[in-house]
């Protein structure tokens, strides 16, 4: 409904009339010459003519004139703009079911509005940029179509695509469509047991978790470049191996597939030696035991206190943390032997230099220059040959 009011100040009994956009008289004073029952008189007085128009349509749009019969006549006017909201927005998708990595296209249409509506796109919380196209129909109304294209991935599955229509006549006018995205499986191996290092004699239990759309119906276990141990038990996605030994070392792979492709995850198994008990050293060999334990610490203790040296078993998948090929116990033993040998060598050399430290003097016999040979020089020496035995030294 529209209310059209014509007010006059200081009226001197002049006639007031109201004209429609076609210059037809709607009301002359309080009489209605126009045969249109939608116009009804609300109020009439010397200073005001107020008329209501119900069930407004597009044909009622235009300039309405209030005319006062004076000399000369006076006029005032007001424009009526008729807003026509669009119909319910319609979303259409090029593909109902999408595959990961593919590009899709959607259109949203807002029909028969005045003025033309504007369309915005949202994908979840992210705004998309669309390309609008505006058409003017024969009845002077507008149809707006917006087109948007984007690439989907697996995270878009179930995300709403929202078409928002903005128009002066309506608020929060929107339509939505949820994406359905198919993707190949995601595979992850989880170590159920053991929680630490895998050692000889223990059991191993692995679980393969596979998720995809459509959901993989079956998963397969295999050993890369070898056969799965004959006594291994495979139940669905679970792999169970009893009584581990080092012959089972290798890469175990879980493979899952659906119509879009297959994926896998690897677990690298390295079986360590079974833990051993170190005997308590006695008082007779405390020194030797201390040297060895200092130079070559227990490798099992190092693995527990320094996780950066040996990766945890459940983190050794997909080629990460490949097991070391050299046993730490062997390295520690070699280092201990070398250190012990060096200490022994230092002790022997120290004793040798301590025994042979000093100054040596030679006592040349007097008269040796005149002697024909060494024996004669000794016999002719001062003091004679009696003390010669006391000056002899023997080196053993």
My answer on whether 152 and 232 are in the same domain is no
Domain assignment of residue 107, yes or no = yes
Structural domains in the chain (count): 3
pLDDT at 81 over 60: yes
Higher-confidence position of 383 and 263: 263
- Identify whether the C-beta of residue 226 lies closer than 8 Å to the C-beta of residue 250: yes
Q: Tell me what pLDDT residue 381 has.
A: 56
Whole-prediction pTM value? Answer: 0.58
Domain finish residue from 179, 196, 225: 179
DSSP for residue 114: B
DSSP for residue 294: H
Whose CA is closest to 168, among 104, 226, 114, 105? 114
- pLDDT tens profile 98-121: 999 999 999 999 999 999 999 999
Share of the chain above pLDDT 90, in %: 60
Cα–Cα dist 267/320, whole Å: 9
Q: Tell me what pLDDT residue 27 has.
A: 93
Q: The domain containing residue 256 runs over which residues?
A: 184-269
My answer on whether 22 and 99 are in the same domain is no
- pLDDT tens profile 330-346: 899 999 999 999 999 99
- Return the residue matching tokens 């035995």: 389
Q: What pLDDT band is residue 362 in, cutting at 50, 70 and 90?
A: low
Neighbouring-strand partners of residue 145: 109, 133
Domain assignment of residue 277, yes or no = no
- pLDDT tens profile 267-277: 999 999 988 76
**Looking at residues 17-43, what average pLDDT do you find?**
93
**Looking at residues 155-164, what average pLDDT do you find?**
95
CATH code where residue 191 lies: 2.60.40.10
Q: What pLDDT band is residue 160 in, cutting at 50, 70 and 90?
A: very high
Please list, in sequence order, all residues whose beta carbon lies within 8 angstroms of the beta carbon of residue 341, skipping any fewer than 6 positions away: none
Q: Tell me what pLDDT residue 258 has.
A: 92
Please list, in sequence order, all residues whose beta carbon lies within 8 angstroms of the beta carbon of residue 91, skipping any fewer than 6 positions away: 106, 107, 108, 161, 163, 175, 176, 177
Helix axes 286-295, 328-355, angle to 10 degrees: 130
- Quick one: how far is CA 169 from the chain centroid? 43
Domain assignment of residue 134, yes or no = yes
Higher-confidence position of 329 and 87: 87
Neighbours of 379 (CB within 10 A): 13
My answer on whether 92 and 168 are in the same domain is yes
Domain finish residue from 35, 52, 80: 80
Q: Tell me what pLDDT residue 120 has.
A: 95
What are the backbone angles phi and psi of residue 199, rounded to the nearest 5°? -120, 160
My answer on whether 101 and 175 are in the same domain is yes
Cα–Cα dist 115/49, whole Å: 31
Domain assignment of residue 355, yes or no = no
My answer on whether 189 and 166 are in the same domain is no
Domain finish residue from 80, 100, 127: 80
Domain assignment of residue 202, yes or no = yes
Neighbouring-strand partners of residue 327: none
Cα torsion for 106, 107, 108, 110, to the nearest 10°?
A: 180
- pLDDT tens profile 204-218: 999 999 999 999 988
Q: What pLDDT band is residue 368 in, cutting at 50, 70 and 90?
A: low
Whose CA is closest to 164, among 196, 128, 212? 128
């Amino acid at each position: 409904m529209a209310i059209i009011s014509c007010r006059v100040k200081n009226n001197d009994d002049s006639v007031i009339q109201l004209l429609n956009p076609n210059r037809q008289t709607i009301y002359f004073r309080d009489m209605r010459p126009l045969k249109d029952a939608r116009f009804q008189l609300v109020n009439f007085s010397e200073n005001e003519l107020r008329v209501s128009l119900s069930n407004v349509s597009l044909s009622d749009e235009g300039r309405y004139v209030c005319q006062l019969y004076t000399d000369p006549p006076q006029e005032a006017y007001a424009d009526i703009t008729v807003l026509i909201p669009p119909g319910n927005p319609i979303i259409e998708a090029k593909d109902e079911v999408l595959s990961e990595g593919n590009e899709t296209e959607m259109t949203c249409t807002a029909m028969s509005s005045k003025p033309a509506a504007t369309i915005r796109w949202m994908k979840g919380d992210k705004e998309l940029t669309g390309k609008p196209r505006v058409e003017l129909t024969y009845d002077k109304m507008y149809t707006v179509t917006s087109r948007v294209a984007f690439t989907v991935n697996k995270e878009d599955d179930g995300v709403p695509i929202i078409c928002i229509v903005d128009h002066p006549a309506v608020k929060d006018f929107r339509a939505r469509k949820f994406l359905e995205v198919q993707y190949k499986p995601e595979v992850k191996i989880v170590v159920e047991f053991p929680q630490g290092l895998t050692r000889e004699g223990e059991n191993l239990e692995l679980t393969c978790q596979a998720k995809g759309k459509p959901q993989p119906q079956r998963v397969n276990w295999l050993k890369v470049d070898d056969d799965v141990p004959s006594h291994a038990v495979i139940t669905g996605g679970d792999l169970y191996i009893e009584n581990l030994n080092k012959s089972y070392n290798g890469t175990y792979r879980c493979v899952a597939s659906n119509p879009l492709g297959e994926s896998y995850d690897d677990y690298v198994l390295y079986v360590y030696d079974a833990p051993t008990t170190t005997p308590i050293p006695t008082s007779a060999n405390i020194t030797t035991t201390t040297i060895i334990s200092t130079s070559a610490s227990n490798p099992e203790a190092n693995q527990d206190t320094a996780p950066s040296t040996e990766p945890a078993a459940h983190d050794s998948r997909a080629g990460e943390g490949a097991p070391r090929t050299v046993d730490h116990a062997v390295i520690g033993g070699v280092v201990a032997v070398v250190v012990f040998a060096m200490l022994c060598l230092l002790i022997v050399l120290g004793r040798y230099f301590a025994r042979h430290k000093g100054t040596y003097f030679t006592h040349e016999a007097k008269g040796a220059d005149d002697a024909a040979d060494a024996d004669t020089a000794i016999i002719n020496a001062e003091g004679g040959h009696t003390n010669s035995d006391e000056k002899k030294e023997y080196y053993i």
